[in-house]
Structure 1
C-alpha cells in the first residue's frame, strides 16, 4: 500500500493535475503540481523556464511532460518522455478520422514513433516526443510544411504545388480557413461545427512505435470500431535503433570472438595427436593447426614427422564449407621465380601438365600446401 500511494503521489492522473492547476493559488508555489527550472534558450541565449510535470495518462502509463518558454524571444517548445520501461514488443495504433470528434483524441508520440497518413502519402520519421491531440498533430504538420513554402515557390514550383495540396487538404479537415492575406484573400469567419459533423475528407492515422511507448486514445472502450491496436515482435535492426542490441560492427566482432572461442582457439594453438609411422611402425606425433591463407579461406594443415626413419608427410583440409562453384586455375611457368609460387591442392583436385603428358586424377596425393618446385619433385619421387 505504501508503494501504491507513493506512486500515485508522484504520477497523479492528468485530470487531477489539471484541476489542481486551475484551483491552485498562484502565491502558493509548493502547491503547484509543476516543477520549474531555469534553462538556456537555444534561440537567443537568454534564460527561459522549463516546466516539468509527472502524470499518468488513462489506459496508458506514467509520463513526464516538459514545456519550455523564453519570455525574451517568445520561443517555446514542449516534449514528452516515458517514465516506464521499453515494452517487450512494438505497438501499432490505427485510427480512422471520420468526424470532428475524432480530432479530439489524445495522441502520445515517443521519440521512436513513425506516423503515417496514407491518404496524403505522408510519413513523419521519428522525432522528439510529443503529447497532443489528432487536431494538434495536423496543425503542427501544416505549420512545419508552411515554413519553407515561399522559398519553394521560387526554387521548385512543382514541390510547392504538391505541398500546397497537402496543406490545403489538412486545413480542410481541421476546418481552418486560409491564412489571412495569402493569395490576396481575407480570412472569413469560421463555422460553428459540432463534434458529430463529418470531416470534409476522411483520413487514416497510423502510429508505428517499436518501443511501445506511443498511444492513441480510443473512445468508450477498446472495441472502438474506428480504433485498432496490435503488437509485433521487434526486428534486430529496431532493437539496435533502441539501444537494446549492439551495433552491427560490434556484433560481428562478438560473433567472430565467439566462433574463435568455440573452435578452441585453433588459429593460435597447435594440436598434437599420437600415431604410428607408416614406414617403420614407430610411434610418432601428428600436428594440426588452423591457418588463414591470404586471398583464400581458412584451412587445416596436418604435419607428420618420424624421428626414427625421417619419414615426413603433410596434408591440408578445408576449414570451411564447400564452395557453390568449382574452380580451374591455369599457370604459365616461364622462369625460375614461378617455381617458388605457393600452391594449395585439395584432396578433390586434379592436376595436369600437358607439356610432359602428366595428368593426375582427383584424390591423387591428397591435399597439399607447398611450392610448385617441391610439388613437382614429389610427383616423380
Structure 2
C-alpha cells in the first residue's frame, strides 16, 4: 500500500530523524491503515532509543463537509458508544461550560463516550495544577465531580462534536448529526 507525505508517494516507511529531546537519531515509522467506519488513516510512530522519547500521531486522508454531532449521555449504556474524534474536532459540553478546541498537536482519537469523558477529566485536572486561584481549582473539582457522576449514571450531559473536516463519527442512533 502506498501513501503520500508532503507530496511524495511512499510505501510503509522506516527511517531515522533527529530526536526533539536529545537530538540524537531516532526511529520514524509511518504506515497507512484502513479502519472500519472511518477509512484510511496514516499512523506515524517515533521512538528514541537514547532518551526513550516516544510519540504516536494519527491523521486522516479524507475530508468531508463540516458537521456537528450532538449526543445526550443519559445512562451507563451510553458510555459504551464508539466515538472517532478527528484532529479538526472541537468538543463541547454545554452543561459544564467546556469547549476544547483543536490545536497543532490534535490527532484522531478512537474511544468510547467513557474514554472521551476521562480524557476531558484528565485535561481539567492538568489545568487545575497550573491555576493559582482557589476559586478556579474548586471549579475544576466541581467539573470533575460532574463527569464522574455522569460515568456513574447520576448526571446527564450533552457532548457536542463540531468538526470542520467532517470526519468525526459517533456510532449511535441517538446521535443527532447535522451540517454546519
TM over 0.5: yes
Choose which of 53, 76, 79 in structure 2 pairs with 1:103. Answer: 79
Contact residue 25 and residue 48 of structure 2 kept, 8 A: yes
Residue 57 in structure 1 maps to residue 35 in structure 2: yes
User: Aligned residue for 2:89?
Assistant: 113
Q: Which runs of 5+ in 1 are unaligned?
A: 1-8, 12-33, 176-198, 219-223, 233-381
- Whole-angstrom distance in 2 between the partners of 1:70 and 1:110: 27
Contact residue 90 and residue 210 of structure 1 kept, 8 A: yes
Contact residue 78 and residue 130 of structure 1 kept, 8 A: no
Q: Work out which structure has the larger RCO, using CA pairs closer than 8 Å and 6 or more positions apart in sequence.
A: 2
User: Aligned residue for 1:90?
Assistant: 66
Residues 131-174 of structure 1, C-alpha deviations (whole Å, 9 max, x = no match): 2213332222222222243442xx21111111121123224444
- Whole-angstrom distance in 2 between the partners of 1:200 and 1:49: 46
TM-score (norm 1): 0.39
Contact residue 128 and residue 136 of structure 2 kept, 8 A: no
- Whole-angstrom distance in 1 between the partners of 2:47 and 2:80: 25
Instruction: Give every structure 1 segment of 4 or more consecutive aligned residues whose post-TM-superposition deviation is greater than 6 Å.
Output: none
Larger Rg: 1
**Secondary structure of the residue that 2:83 maps to in structure 1?**
strand
Choose which of 172, 176, 180 in structure 2 pairs with 1:228. Answer: 176
- Whole-angstrom distance in 2 between the partners of 1:172 and 1:135: 12
The change in CA–CA distance for 1:216 and 1:150 in structure 2 (over 3 A counts) is same
The change in CA–CA distance for 1:39 and 1:206 in structure 2 (over 3 A counts) is farther
- Whole-angstrom distance in 2 between the partners of 1:174 and 1:40: 42
- Whole-angstrom distance in 2 between the partners of 1:73 and 1:101: 42
**Secondary structure of the residue that 1:96 maps to in structure 2?**
strand
The change in CA–CA distance for 1:145 and 1:59 in structure 2 (over 3 A counts) is same
**Secondary structure of the residue that 2:92 maps to in structure 1?**
strand
**Secondary structure of the residue that 2:120 maps to in structure 1?**
helix
The change in CA–CA distance for 1:150 and 1:124 in structure 2 (over 3 A counts) is closer
Contact residue 10 and residue 55 of structure 1 kept, 8 A: no
User: Aligned residue for 1:164?
Assistant: 141
User: Aligned residue for 2:44?
Assistant: 66
User: Aligned residue for 1:205?
Assistant: 159
**Secondary structure of the residue that 1:147 maps to in structure 2?**
helix
Tell me by how many angstroms 1:48 deviates: 4.2
Residue 140 in structure 1 maps to residue 94 in structure 2: no
- Whole-angstrom distance in 1 between the partners of 2:33 and 2:96: 34
Q: Which runs of 5+ in 2 are unaligned?
A: 4-11
